[in-house]
Amino acid sequence: MQNKISIEQLIQNDQELSIISSNDQSHNTLNVLVAYLQENNALLKELLLKNGAILFRGFEVNDNDDFRRVKEVFFGTSDFTYMDGNSPRTKLSSNIYTSTEYPQELAITLHNELSYSSNWPKHLLFYCHIAAEEGGETPLCNSRQILKKLDVKIVDAFAQYGVKYTRFLSGSQGMGKTWANTFETSDQNVIEQYCHENNIEFFWENGGLYLSNNGPGIIDHPITGEAVWFNQANQFHPCSLSNDVYKGMKLLFSDQKYKYPQYAYYGNGEEIPEAYLKEITEVHFSNSLKFKWQKGDIVILDNLLVAHGRMPFKGPRKIYVSMC
């Protein structure tokens, strides 16, 4: 069975993606993939540490149950809940969510999932249920290489200070992600307990919830020991929004900066130059690898080694995500 499954490397901009696919349509069932994952678990995990990204293609992965089976065979049954997550998603079942629900004509900047939080997933799995007619790629970018591509001034400042993230979450629908959606509970006591346990400063105001926590700018990978870029400062800062939206927010919140839905400072509370934040976004996009999704594709990422985003798209697109 093994020789009917091939491994190819797609390389763009210093990011490698291992593509594992079946060459034989009579040997592409879900059971074939499951057996391959079981027999090659150690080798695949080594590959993941090397490239940070593996794509499984051409196997019969048809729905969320199949997706869950792949995840559990490879990583076991431990679940990671998207608690404290800032992206609007729909929870489809335990630990399977839609990918970020964001206007399809806009790109989502590259990021390492939940790098602003003290609880981040080690791995992400994406499953393509419906591929977009046009666009909709998930750009991938090597978080080790980013350190070499960014201006040394930016890297040094982030290494020295880290990042302070602030959020002001609404209590009502229609004004961004609510605090109840963010924490997957409407019990304020549970949220306060979570904040205490995770060093998140907070206060309630008129039904809204302010949160502030510090995170790293750069961290060492726990297994390889390599330094990796690991923060979401550019994505949290409102200069990442359109000029009109950012201008409007400045008018609204100039005297009450804590009320920005999201904001990022250096860890010492000083402003990060907007030119730095824009360069971070630009360097990620221009150094990314883009592949075209096909129905049934599963991509596994090491969340510390590879940042991901989303390109604009046309037509329906359903990409689901699970974290562990």
Which residues are at the interface with Fe ion (CB under 5 A)?
A: 113
What is the Cα–Cα distance from 33 to 64, expressed in whole angstroms?
Answer: 15
> Nearer Cβ to Fe ion, position 36 or 97?
97
Q: Quick one: tokens of 32?
A: 């074939």
Compare residues 113 and 297 and give the one whose CB is closer to Fe ion: 113
Indicate the DSSP class of residue 260: S
* Residue 111 beta carbon to Fe ion: minimum distance, rounded to whole angstroms: 6
Give the chain's count of helices (H) and strands (E): 10, 19
Looking at beta carbons, which residue is closest to Fe ion? 113
Give the shortest CB-151-to-Fe ion separation in angstroms.
25
Q: How far is the CB of 108 from Fe ion (least distance, A)?
A: 7
Q: Which residues contact 55 (CB under 8 A, 6 or more apart)?
A: 17, 18, 19, 20, 291, 297, 298, 299
Select 113 or 302, whichever has its Cβ closest to Fe ion: 113
Tokens of 292: 């075209």
Please state the closest distance from residue 138 (CB atom) to Fe ion, in A: 9
| Closest to Fe ion by CB, 115 or 178 | 115
- The least distance separating Fe ion from the CB of residue 24, rounded to whole angstroms, comes to 34
CA distance 231 to 246: 21
In this complex, which beta carbon is closest to Fe ion, that of residue 33 or of residue 323? 323
Q: How far apart are CA 53 and CA 144, in angstroms?
A: 13
